[in-house]
Structure formats: structure tokens, C-alpha cells
Structure 1
Amino acid sequence: MDAKTKPDAYGVLIEPATLRIQRLLPGPIERVWAYLTDSDLRRKWLAAGVMETRVGAPFEFVWRNDELNDPPSKRPAGFPEEHRMQSRITECDPPRKLSIAWSNSGDVTFELEPKGKGVVLTVIHRRLPDRPTMLKVGAGWHMHLDILVARISGEEPEPFWDGWARLQQDYDRRLPA
């Protein structure tokens, strides 16, 4: 894994309402797949929620971003301690692709591609309704993926909310108005 193979850390709009963000993770691909599909592993970087990995399977994501770091950083005003979202698997090709429909906030696809001893994880979030949502989602995915990289590498991640607040300003400068 070197600078030539490492994806840009920032997400980019690949269509007007579609954000793509990538990370290079240590392999093997099966371990990264487990961090996407196993609730206990996923809750350490994104959200809990037991899922049956088959197309059509409903499940609930439960975000508790305060629990991603110990001690937690200060949560911004207007964000609840917990957020729940009904979800449904729309595509599942283990261990390479997982697509999920999220109630009222678009669709998310996770694609895994082996690259040397690593795995490129590509997250594509479609149907983002407006720019304020894009800024929140861009900063959110960025921080959640940075935490995933830290967790899967055995390192301590940056405090979620501190990074999210900083990154939201970065995405405001980077994403078109």
C-alpha cells in the first residue's frame, strides 16, 4: 500500500446527487466484508444492526456515534444520542458487493476490490436530496471510514464528532454549491 494506490480520502460527487468515497484497507477481503455485515464489528465504526445477507432482507441500523470513541467527543446540537433507520438489502454478492436502501435517505452500495495485500472499499451513496444533506453525509462517511481504517488496523481513531465538524467545513469548500 503506497501513495500511488491509496485513494483520495475525500468523497466526490460523481453525479449531482451521488457521493463516492474510497478507502484502502488491510485485507483479506473476507475480514473487510465481516466489518460490513457483522453487527458487532460494524457498530465499532458505523452502526449496529443484525442483517441477513440476502436480497430483500429488512433490518434496522442503529447509530450511536458517541460510542465510537472513549471518551466521546462533544455531539453537535441537533443530533440525537441514537439514530435508527429502517433498511433493506437490495444487492448482495459476498464478499464483493452489498447494496442497501435506506428509508428516506437514498441508497448505499459498498464495493470491495482486492488490491495487493489490501482491499479498496468504495462507498457510493445515491439520491442525496440537497446540499446540506450532502455536507453532513460526506463528513459522516469520511469519519466513519477513517474509524473503520483505524479499527481494522488496530489503531485508536480520531474522536468522531471532532472530525465530523472539521470535515463538514472541508466538504462545504470541496462540493459544488
Structure 2
Amino acid sequence: MDQFFVTSSNPSLRQISKIQRAYQIVLITSIIWSLQSLIAYFNVAISPITGACVPNSPGSSLYAALFFNFIISVISITIPMIFGYLNYRNIHQTTVLAEQQADRQVVKMVLLQIILIIISNTSLGGLNTYGLITTGVIKSQEQQLQEYCALLLINLIVSIYFAAGLIHL
């Protein structure tokens, strides 16, 4: 997003890309996600039989799984695509940057970012969907161990996205 704001020809959009604005956005985002997590706090109770956290209603676990999949699948891919395209358009309209072929570099960066997001988040969303489908199924210990192994492998795949992001720093 920041690349789009910095390359914009509109001064008010460029003004958004200031460090103070970044602090405000982080604060607002933190508040929103904290409020979102309160839903889980009020919809979960400790079972007196097992001592484990269980949802109060089936709707709350369905909401959590669908919301998580929506965030993972749709939003995390759509936002970089939209702002990557807008950034490409801004750079392409700037003659000097277009002559330096900066638009091609932006396309490569955005495509790499989207590919890494798809690789990491598709597997995590798939595992979450599998968990949602098999919520009421009684599983053997072997099946639980296989699911745990899959979870560990998928967490490793998800960490690839973050590791690749650190390489570019």
C-alpha cells in the first residue's frame, strides 16, 4: 500500500505515507483486531468434563472458521493485487519511472508476493476447512497424530512467506 501512496501524483495521497500516519494505522488496526478477538473470549467456555476450551454454540465455531478462511483466502490476496495494480498504474503514468522500467520491477515484486501468499495461505485455509468439516467426527489417536503432523508441516510452509519477506529487508 505504501508504494501506491508514495508513487501517487496526488499530494494528499502522498501525505498518507508518513511515519505518524503509520503509527495511527497500526494503533487502529490493533484496536480492531482486539475487538474481533473479544468474540472468541465471550463465546468459549471451559468444559467441566474435559477441562478444555469448547465453544458455547456451534455458530461461534462456524463463524471463527469462516472468518479465518475469508481473511486468509480473500483479503490477504486481494489487497496486494489491488494496490500492486494501482502502484503499477502510478509508475506507468510517471514518464521517468516508466523509462527506467520500474513498472516491470513492481510487477515482479507483486507477483512474487502474491505467489508466496497463495502458497502459504492456501494450505492453512485448507487445513482450517478440513477441521471445520470434521468438527463432529470422533477421531482415532492415529488420525489425530496425522492431523497434528499436517499442522506442523503447514506451519512450516506458512513460515516460508515470513522468511522470504525477511530476506528482502
Query: Fold match, TM over 0.5?
Result: no
Larger Rg computed on CA atoms = 2
TM superposition score normalised by structure 2:
0.23
Which structure shows the bigger proportion of residues in helix conformation? Answer: 2
